[in-house]
Structure 1
Amino acid sequence: MSKPGKRFRAAAEPIDHEKLYAIEEAVKLVKEGAKAKFDETIEISMNLGVDPRHADQMVRGVCALPHGSGRKLRVAVFAKGAKAEEAKKAGADLVGAEDLVEQVQKGVIEFDRCIATPDMMPLVGRLGKVLGPRGLMPNPKVGTVTADIGPAVKAAKGGAVEFRVEKAGLIHAGVGKASFSEQALVENIRAFADAVMKAKPSGAKGTFMKKIAVTSTMGPGVKVEPASLGSG
């Protein structure tokens, strides 16, 4: 196993890896450690007290980050007629119906988020094996199957972040960029934590948010005190 580089070791030096930091201090440390030559993504990782193998313990949702994610998402919309025009006016990068389905079936996936009107789902359903493994399948639970196409496209382009618990109860998400102010990152992280709390399933018992950490793309992780997020 290779040893951490000099830059990583320098960034990790001020961090007490056994300590739980208040979110403000954690963000400050992460920003200070983000010294790569590109604008690093700030990420949050959560270990939740759920077992996603049970249907009543699945955690899934979407969060509209107040300051956006810093990512430029390419949004595709499956729609026809007036709804297709609405999607284009809202800024969708790709809009189509049968033609877009055919394109995706050929393996040409030039988008990061996929939205569909309800009437298109019988058609889009054929793409489950292609879009599902990539986490791109439209789903009404996260607002990507909707008749309100304009607002959905604007939310996706504006930095709405989808989340879904993985094996072992883990959730990961990008919540901004290292170039964001500390306050903007703290507000984004609190909004994300609040969205996850609101998605707490009925089957969850005991402590819901067990462990939380924030990090940058190339930097060390910093453990966060859950209470500092206003979450339990």
Structure 2
Amino acid sequence: MAKIAKRVAKTREGIDVDKAYGLVEAIKLLKERATAKFDETFEVAMNLGVDPRHADQMVRGVVNLPNGTGRTVRVAVFARNEKADEARAAGADIVGAEELVDIVQKGEINFDRCIATPDMMPLVGRLGKVLGPRGMMPNPKVGTVTTDIAGAVKASKGGAVEFRVEKAGIIHAGVGKASFDAKAIEENVRAFTDAVVKAKPAGAKGIYLKRVSVTTTMGPGLKVDVSSLAEA
């Protein structure tokens, strides 16, 4: 326990928790402190000026990060016949129809992302109570209910990140690994921020992007100067 406390204290040396850092400086500081024995995930969290309890203030979408996420994503696809073949050819890890529904209903969810063809949705709809709470329910708004199965699978494998605002108006996501070079992380954070800004709902009033912070799995959380996110 003492070793953990000592390591945590070391990661916080030279950090001002009350300061809002420029994005580039924040990334530099976190990379210098990412000393865990595994490749830490670089994460971003945003506090938005919305109340998602109102339908016209819901924020959700998907963004393809320019440099990927750095993690292996297992993709399941609900499809039949030629669309199932298309999914397998594109690299889907699990493909099926009724038999896949049965597997998921048993609680065997060995995948990170779920895609379905439109004709499969009456079947997939039975899994709402299982997939919904996990944020995995296929949805046409984020491209996971589609006839372009190959494109959706490749996007999911290549760095597509789905986001959805939580009850407190917070969005968070992993946007890379600490092993990425600083420029790659910066580009990913900017791409994610841009997607969230473009997803601003009509019902949002006042300041939309209120607070932003970045962190690594084992590192400190750093506040980011929101104005620095718009810089080229």
Whether these two folds match at TM > 0.5 is: yes
Which residue matches 2:43? 43
Q: SS of the residue aligned with 1:7?
A: helix
TM-score normalised according to structure 1 size: 0.97
**Alignment-derived partner of residue 178 in structure 1:** 178
Matched residue type, 1:77? V
Determine helix, strand or coil for the equivalent of 2:185.
helix
**1:13 equivalent in structure 2:** 13
Which residues of 2 match residues 74-153 of structure 1 at below 5 A?
74-153=74-153
Report the RMSD for the aligned CA atoms in angstroms: 1.4
- Equivalent residue number for residue 165 of structure 2: 165
* CA distance in 2: counterparts of 1:143 and 1:156, whole angstroms: 10
Task: State the 1:212 CA deviation.
Answer: 0.3
Q: Which runs of 5+ in 2 are unaligned?
A: none
Cα deviation code 1:3-30 (max 9, x no counterpart): 9711111111211111111110010011
* C-alpha separation in 2, matches of 1:121 and 1:106: 19
**SS of match in other structure, 1:114:** strand
2:210 partner SS = strand
Shift of the alpha carbon at 1:110? 0.9
- Matched residue type, 2:6: K
Q: Confirm whether residue 67 of structure 1 aligns to residue 77 of structure 2.
A: no
Mapped partners of 2:193, 2:89: distance in 1: 32
**Alignment partners' CA distance in 2, 1:116 and 1:98:** 12
Gaps of 5+ in 1: none
1:190 Cα shift? 0.1
Query: Hey, what does 1:216 align to over in structure 2?
Result: 216
Determine the C-alpha separation between the residues in 2 that align with 1:189 and 1:57. 23
Three-state SS of the structure 1 residue aligned to 2:35 is: coil
- Give CA-to-partner distance per residue, 1:151-188, whole Å, 9 cap, x none: 10000001111110001101110000000000000000
Using the alignment, how far apart are the partners of 1:84 and 1:78 within structure 2?
A: 8
Amino acid at match of 2:24: E
Q: 1:4 to 1:47 in 2, by over 3 A?
A: farther
- Matches of 1:169 and 1:4 in 2, distance apart? 32
- Name the SS of the counterpart of 1:44 in structure 2: strand
The letter for the 2-side match of 1:51 is D
Amino acid at match of 1:125: G
Measured after TM superposition, the shift of residue 116 of structure 1 is 0.2
SS in structure 2 at match of 1:42 = strand
Separation in structure 1 between the aligned mates of residue 60 and residue 127 of structure 2, nearest angstrom: 21
Q: 1:4 to 1:48 in 2, by over 3 A?
A: farther
Aligned residue pairs total: 230
Identity of aligned residues (%): 70
TM-superposed deviation, 1:103: 0.8
Counterpart-to-counterpart distance in 1, 2:80 and 2:47: 41
